Amino acid sequence: MLMYKYLLASFCFLLLSCSSTTNPIELIIKKREPQLKPVYKNKENHNLQILYTKVVRDSLGMPSFIEYDYKIDSNHYFYPASTMKLPIVALTLQKINELRNTGINITVESKILLLNADQITTETTFKDLIAKVFLVSDNSASNILINFLGYNYFNKQMREKGLNTIVLNHKFNPDPYVKTDWKIYTLDRDLISKDEVQEVIEHNSLDNLRQGKSQILNGEEVATPFNFKTKNRASLRDLDGVMKRIIYPDLVQEQDRINLSDQDYNFLRYWMSRFTFEDIGIEYQKDSKYFDSYNKFFIYGDSTNAVDRKIRIYNKVGVAYGALTDISYIRDYQKNIEFFLSATIYVNQNQIVNDNIYEYDDLGIPFLAELARQVYKLEEQY
């Protein structure tokens, strides 16, 4: 258990140890709630990692963080899936600022042109792409942003910001255009996408890189584990660090911050906290696979009914290969409750990777939803 204390003069974290030996996460997951019990009973099979940060404020309103963790291990691999889209979007906003500083006429709302190998041009805006990423975790929109940033730029920026475990090696699937290297232009015909030789980063020194007893390869089951050594990677702590940089940038040393303006932060926080049917997301009501909390595992994830939205969840979820992850900042403005919660869980009972038979709806999402509800109840008591 760690404690970060806000320092007004230096805007840094001071790392302190807490004297209490009581870990509220362990107390919660040991409860007999039906959504929690089966996971805790077989916890060693679920690659479970949880990070809970309580936010407290002093008499001047300055925040301090008290952090509790369960089974956090940055060397134990889990597949981060679409949680990688959170730093992708944040760096997209940063790069727009960098381009504008070079004299290019570009903003998040500027129209841009997408050109594919067949010379077919599509017009869109960064705002629309980012909205799709947060409302429904759109893979095509995310992959366009990857072409905008470039893999090497992304990975270099993560290292420079102290987020060394976050590594981007590939695009997101399914996407009919996953192999398309989009060329992106402004309306003034400035080329703003990256065309470079990618440096693939292998994760050879991590635990749990080989998962499952077998895998589906080209439609056939192959009796070898799935190897994640060249897949995307991120530790839960560093993903949580991205969230904290977005919500409380002044609490991070300047060299570790994402270079965003106040307007950028407000834009990012707005879209992170939308439910799927909010704002332009009303379009997704036409598709029966979506529901209002489609993009929220914590608190609301196990219900497809309309939610009251009184609790705002600033987050990004990820789901693939049996791994479910949610990285979040949760805020109830009426009750003045706020906390950070990040968690990942692995649900693959048959131990076959890539067969699309996982216990997401029956086990993983109910666990994450109840975990967050229990943390929220705990916060209500303070």
Q: How many CA atoms lie within 13 A of 317 on its CB side?
A: 28
Percent of the chain having pLDDT more than 90? 90
DSSP assignment string, 95-140: HHHHHHHTT----TTSEEEEE-TT--EEEEEHHHHHHHHHHH--HH
CA–CA distance, 198 with 196 (Å, rounded to integer): 6
Q: Would you state the pLDDT for residue 21?
A: 59
Greatest distance between any 2 Cα atoms in the chain? 63
Handedness of CA 353, 356, 357, 361 (dihedral sign): positive
At residue 259, φ and ψ (nearest 5 deg) are -80, 85
The answer to whether the pTM exceeds 0.95 is no
Q: Would you state the pLDDT for residue 382?
A: 82
Average pLDDT of the segment spanning 120-144 = 97
Q: Would you state the pLDDT for residue 10?
A: 35
Residue 268 has pLDDT above 90, yes or no: yes
Domain containing residue 249: 2-381
Say how many Å lie between the first and final Cα of the chain, rounded.
18
| Beta-sheet strands, E only, within the chain | 2-6, 13-17, 49-57, 63-70, 111-115, 121-125, 183-186, 210-211, 214-217, 220-222, 226-227, 311-320, 323-332, 337-346, 352-353
Residue 45 has pLDDT above 50, yes or no: yes
Average pLDDT of the segment spanning 260-282 = 97
Confidence band, pLDDT 50/70/90 cuts, at residue 9: very low
* Interval 282-316: pLDDT, tens: 999 999 999 999 999 999 999 999 888 999 999 99
Q: Would you state the pLDDT for residue 73?
A: 97
CA–CA distance, 258 with 237 (Å, rounded to integer): 17
Q: Would you state the pLDDT for residue 308?
A: 87
Residue 8 has pLDDT above 80, yes or no: no
53, β-bridge pairs: 67, 340
Q: Residue 95 belongs to a domain with what CATH number?
A: 3.40.710.10
Cβ 187 vs Cβ 111: under 8 Å? yes
Handedness of CA 328, 230, 76, 360 (dihedral sign): positive
Confidence band, pLDDT 50/70/90 cuts, at residue 118: confident
CA–CA distance, 68 with 58 (Å, rounded to integer): 20
* Interval 203-229: pLDDT, tens: 999 999 999 999 999 999 999 999 999
Q: Would you state the pLDDT for residue 92?
A: 98
CA–CA distance, 238 with 351 (Å, rounded to integer): 27
Closest CA to 25 of 36, 34, 17, 35: 36
Question: What is the number of other CB atoms lying within 10 angstroms of the CB of residue 362?
Answer: 13
DSSP H/E element including 219: none
Q: Would you state the pLDDT for residue 96?
A: 98
Residue 2 has pLDDT above 60, yes or no: no
Percent of the chain having pLDDT more than 70? 95
The domain tally of the chain equals 1
Q: Which of 116-120, 139-143, 363-367 has the lowest mean pLDDT?
A: 116-120
Omega before 174 within 30 of 0, i.e. cis: yes
Average pLDDT of the segment spanning 333-355 = 97
Q: Would you state the pLDDT for residue 12?
A: 39
At residue 164, φ and ψ (nearest 5 deg) are -70, -25
Average pLDDT of the segment spanning 76-88 = 98
